[in-house]
Amino acid sequence: MNAHTTSEPSEAYIALGANLGDREQTLLDAIGRLDAHPDIQVQRCSDLYETEPVGYVDQPSFINMAIAVRTTLSPLELLRYMLFIEQELGRVRSVRWGPRTIDLDLLFMEGVTLQTSELVLPHPRMEERAFVLIPLADILMENDLSGFTDIVQSAMRKLDGKDGIQRWKTCSWRTAFAPSGN
């Protein structure tokens, strides 16, 4: 894996969602597993939000949140590690947009645009999903150099509203807004 790492760390944003089992515990477990990787450091965690299901609506409500990480992994290595964590935490793929113990979506990675069958960056459905944008707003950095904050704020202005999205809890994994490199 290290053969593909880049030397300079990049910032990446990840959306998390869960609607089966102990949703909060699974989300915290996933964050812990990301941070346990030697080439990933979790920087900031949003609050946890309880959200009504979108797309396939006949399923339990979700807990959604977002995190910022710093990593020297390549985008594909990071995605594959996220998919590995989903498997470890018991995700079973059946219905598209259906219920899941855990969903990890890579939203954005500093300086990267990609369009392959395995990975599209920025995430193509991010801007229409209030359950992604509202948690993300908690952890955006002002004046970030890559323009991600502008993209998210502009998408938020186009949202119909915040219906079906309730702030639920602060993240007990690490709520401090830690500077990079911690």
Ligand X SMILES: Nc1ncnc2c1ncn2[C@@H]1O[C@H](COP(=O)(O)OP(=O)(O)OP(=O)(O)O)[C@@H](O)[C@H]1O
Ligand Y SMILES: Nc1nc2c(c(=O)[nH]1)N=C(CO)CN2
Catalytic machinery residues: 91, 100, 103, 105
23 in Cβ contact with 168 (< 8 Å): no
**Across the strands, what pairs with 180?**
none
Q: What is the CA radius of gyration of the chain?
A: 15
53 binds, among ligand Y, ligand X, none (CB under 5 to 8 A by kind): ligand Y
Query: From CA 60, how far away is CA 143, in angstroms rounded?
Result: 37
- Which residue from 118, 128, 144, 150 is in contact with ligand X, where contact means CB under 6 A? 118
Interacting partner of 120 out of ligand X, ligand Y, none (Cβ under 5 to 8 A depending on kind) = ligand X
Residue 181 CB, nearest approach to ligand X (Å) = 25
- 120 sits near ligand X (criterion: CB under 6 A): yes
State yes or no: residue 64 binds ligand Y (CB under 6 A).
yes
Give the β-pairing of 10-18 and 48-51: unpaired
Tell me the C-alpha distance between 35 and 111, whole Å: 22
Footprint on this chain of ligand X (rule: CB under 6 A): 79, 83, 93, 96-97, 103, 105-106, 118-121, 123, 125
